[in-house]
């Protein structure tokens, strides 16, 4: 009889302990806490205040209970401290064309640690240059060559320059070059490329060679 009672109580304690353990796991899952936000890239420079230029930032949250890193770009609130210089659409940013300067952008989320949550934020730096204005960061009097990609249906198109400076749209679509510099522009992929605009007189297939003497733009047309 005593042995049966002992066995019964052992079974009860086992069930209670298992239930508590499961509740603990469930509670731990519910209590995942955000402790940090990393914005990537940490900095970006526009070599021209051209509003058609775009840079894309992402926000990665660092969590505990359990530990995890995940993209929360669509959850955070994006902002910047100089809105007259920078347009923001979530993590996508572009110059306004109203000048140059150094801008701090932020990504914040109010679901951090603490009983009722707290504000967690991360940041990055954006520099808008204007090579024609010496007072701008990195400013110079060198003329700017800008490429303007146009596409009807294809994606993943790009234009790069030699000498380096233009990598559009991944980094920048405009860059300063010393007057008299011969710049070779290459459109990729060549299978998507249709033609260069009338500004490029030295075009052969997907390659455009242009001598920069004044600030100018070249159109690259993709299908």
Tokens 């990665």, residue located:
60
Separation CA 221–CA 223 (nearest Å): 7
**What digits encode the pLDDT tens for the residues 197-218?**
888 878 999 999 999 998 888 9
**What digits encode the pLDDT tens for the residues 7-54?**
655 555 455 455 554 444 444 445 788 899 999 999 898 988 899 999
Q: Which two tokens stand for residue 52?
A: 């058609």
- Report the 10 Å Cβ neighbour count for 198: 9
Percent of the chain exceeding pLDDT 70 equals: 79
Give the helix ranges, DSSP H, for 31-123: none
Separation CA 189–CA 186 (nearest Å): 9
pLDDT, average across residues 179-200? 92
- Report the 10 Å Cβ neighbour count for 146: 20
Contact 105, 124 (CB under 8 A): yes
Separation CA 2–CA 4 (nearest Å): 5
Confidence at 188, pLDDT banded by 50, 70, 90 = very high
Give the helix ranges, DSSP H, for the chain: 2-30
pLDDT attached to residue 29: 45
Question: What are the beta bridge partners of residue 161?
Answer: 185
Question: What are the beta bridge partners of residue 38?
Answer: 60
Q: Which two tokens stand for residue 223?
A: 């299908």
pTM for this entry = 0.51
Separation CA 95–CA 133 (nearest Å): 15
């Amino acid at each position: 009889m005593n042995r049966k009672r002992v066995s019964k109580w052992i079974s009860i304690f086992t069930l209670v302990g298992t239930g508590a353990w499961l509740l603990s796991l469930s509670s731990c899952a519910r209590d995942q806490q955000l402790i940090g936000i990393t914005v990537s890239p940490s900095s970006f420079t526009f070599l021209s205040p051209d509003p058609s230029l775009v840079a894309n930032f992402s926000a990665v949250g660092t969590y505990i209970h359990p530990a995890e890193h995940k993209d929360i770009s669509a959850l955070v609130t994006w902002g910047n401290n100089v809105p007259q210089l920078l347009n923001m659409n979530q993590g996508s940013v572009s110059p306004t064309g109203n000048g140059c300067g150094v801008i701090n952008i932020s990504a914040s989320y109010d679901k951090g640690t603490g009983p009722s949550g707290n504000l967690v934020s991360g940041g990055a730096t954006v520099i808008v240059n204007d090579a024609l204005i010496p007072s701008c960061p990195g400013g110079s009097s060198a003329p700017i060559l800008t490429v303007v990609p146009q596409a009807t249906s294809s994606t993943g198109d790009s234009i790069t320059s030699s000498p380096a400076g233009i990598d559009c749209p991944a980094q920048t679509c405009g860059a300063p070059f010393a007057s008299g510099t011969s710049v070779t522009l290459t459109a990729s992929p060549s299978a998507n490329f249709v033609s260069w605009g009338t500004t490029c007189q030295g075009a052969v297939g997907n390659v455009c060679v242009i001598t920069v003497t004044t600030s100018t733009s070249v159109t690259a047309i993709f299908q």
